[in-house]
């Protein structure tokens, strides 16, 4: 009989604990990841490196574009003045099309290089920030942390701004 009472009390205690835990809402937090990233010195340095790359690659792109514009203007002037035979005009037009394709291809290559470099520079920064966010969430009992910079949070129960905790974890305080 005593065994049955102990078993009943243990089950009642277990159910009470489980019920109390089930009734507590998960703790939610929010932060503006975009603002945090902009405030990091590593991001500032990465943006400077990207700007240098864009400027270096842009010089060649600008010279290609100017050469094309000059050639196109000369072609148009000669064509309108009647200085070109139909065969020569067609040949020069083909050359201009090829030159324009080269400019377009270079611009696409430049854009791809910049995107790749940006990803290369930002990956370690994002990893560091996401690790800090995970540690803050675990240390402070957050079930979820929302990024308000993307506008992805449409509704959430009460949430706390955890930016200061993440900044502290990153050593920015």
pLDDT score, position 7: 47
- Closest C-alpha to 31, from 138, 172, 130: 130
pLDDT score, position 154: 41
pLDDT score, position 172: 87
The tens-digit pLDDT sequence of the chain (173 residues) is 556 555 455 555 554 544 545 456 678 888 898 999 999 999 999 999 999 999 988 888 888 899 989 999 998 998 888 888 889 889 999 999 999 999 999 999 999 999 999 999 999 999 999 899 889 988 988 888 888 888 655 445 567 788 888 899 998 87
Distance CA 95, CA 160 (A): 62
Q: Which residues have a Cβ under 8 Å from the Cβ of 138 and sit 6 or more positions away?
A: none
The predicted model scores a pTM of 0.65
- Nearest 5°: the CA angle 75, 79, 82 is 145
Q: What's the order of all strands across the beta sheet hosting 159-161?
A: 142-147, 27-31, 159-161
pLDDT score, position 150: 84
**Per the structure block, which two tokens stand in for 134?**
């995970």
Give, for 161, the enclosing helix (H) or strand (E): strand 159-161
């Amino acid at each position: 009989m005593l065994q049955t009472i102990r078993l009943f009390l243990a089950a009642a205690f277990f159910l009470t604990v489980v019920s109390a835990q089930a009734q507590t809402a998960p703790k939610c937090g929010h932060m503006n990841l975009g603002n945090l990233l902009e405030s990091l010195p590593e991001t500032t340095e990465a943006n400077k490196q990207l700007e240098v790359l864009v400027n270096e690659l842009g010089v060649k792109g600008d010279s290609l574009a100017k050469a094309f514009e000059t050639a196109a203007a000369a072609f148009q002037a000669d064509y309108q003045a009647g200085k070109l035979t139909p065969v020569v005009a067609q040949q020069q037009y083909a050359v201009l099309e090829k030159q324009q394709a080269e400019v377009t291809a270079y611009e696409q290559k430049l854009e791809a290089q910049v995107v790749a470099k940006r990803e290369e520079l930002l990956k370690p920064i994002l990893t560091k920030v996401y690790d800090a966010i995970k540690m803050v969430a675990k240390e402070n009992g957050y079930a979820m942390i929302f990024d308000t910079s993307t506008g992805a949070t449409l509704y959430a129960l009460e949430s706390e701004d955890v930016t200061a905790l993440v900044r502290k974890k990153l050593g920015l305080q």
